[in-house]
């Protein structure tokens, strides 16, 4: 029975099934559209920018491109018990291609790449979350895990991030 359903699934639904890169910020797991991900790098200390907001760690030179580095943990207050964003062997920078921009985002760790069919995504309930509801596409169960799917483009392009003119 299961096989037949797959064959008859409308093409439109298949087109919506996306692969998401999942990562951790504090105790939560988030997912972003893999098509926006350019690369994943170990964290390196960026060059600081004077008077930048705390979450804008600075910039790195990535093969000739100057890339702003945003620590999403600082942006959303996902700190450890000591109230700070920890930099350790798991800390990574996810380099994203957003519109015409390349932006690095720092997260606690990267989990994996998962395919999530559109029908498995539920709207996010009104909940207390570090991340504003406007930037949450929905929630999806991946096995036993609950993944919060982010609209990373709206988030990084929003005025309060200060990355766009």
Reported as a pLDDT band with limits 50, 70 and 90, residue 59 is: very high
d(CA 149, CA 135): 9
- Give the model's pLDDT for residue 2: 45
Alpha-carbon distance values, 23 to 3, 43, 72, 162 (Å): 32, 14, 11, 23
pLDDT tens digits, one per residue of 79-125: 777 878 889 999 999 999 998 899 999 999 999 999 999 889 998 87
Rounded-to-5 percentages of helix, strand, coil across the chain: 20, 45, 35
The chain-wide mean pLDDT, for the chain, equals 85
Question: Phi then psi for 56, rounded to 5 degrees?
Answer: -90, 100
pLDDT band with cut points at 50, 70 and 90 for residue 129:
low
Among 43, 46, 44, 59, which residue's Cα sits nearest to residue 110? 43
Domain boundaries, the chain: 2-161
CA distances, 163 to each of 43, 59, 125, 158, 160 (Å): 20, 12, 29, 8, 8
| Residues linked to residue 132 through DSSP beta bridges, in sequence order | none
Of the pLDDT bands very low, low, confident and very high (cuts 50, 70, 90), residue 11 is very low
Q: Where residue 6 falls among pLDDT bands split at 50, 70, 90?
A: very low
Alpha carbon distance 143, 159 (integer Å)? 35
Q: What is the reported pTM?
A: 0.84
Does 15 score more than 60 pLDDT? no
9 pLDDT more than 70 = no
The length of the chain in residues reads 165
Architecture of domain 2-161: Beta Barrel (2.40)
């Amino acid at each position: 029975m299961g096989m037949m359903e797959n064959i008859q699934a409308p093409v439109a639904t298949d087109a919506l099934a996306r692969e998401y890169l999942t990562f951790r910020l504090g105790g939560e797991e988030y997912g972003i559209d893999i098509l926006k991900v350019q690369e994943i790098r170990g964290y390196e200390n960026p060059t600081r920018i004077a008077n930048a907001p705390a979450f804008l760690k600075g910039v790195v030179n990535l093969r000739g491109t100057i890339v702003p580095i945003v620590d999403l943990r600082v942006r959303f207050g996902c700190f450890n018990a000591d109230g700070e964003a920890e930099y350790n062997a798991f800390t990574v920078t996810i380099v994203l291609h957003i519109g015409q921009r390349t932006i690095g985002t720092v997260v606690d760790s990267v989990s994996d790449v998962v395919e999530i069919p559109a029908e498995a995504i539920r709207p996010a309930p009104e909940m207390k979350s570090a991340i504003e509801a406007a930037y949450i596409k929905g929630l999806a169960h991946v096995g036993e895990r609950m993944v919060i799917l982010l609209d990373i483009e709206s988030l990084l392009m929003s005025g309060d991030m200060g990355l766009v003119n």
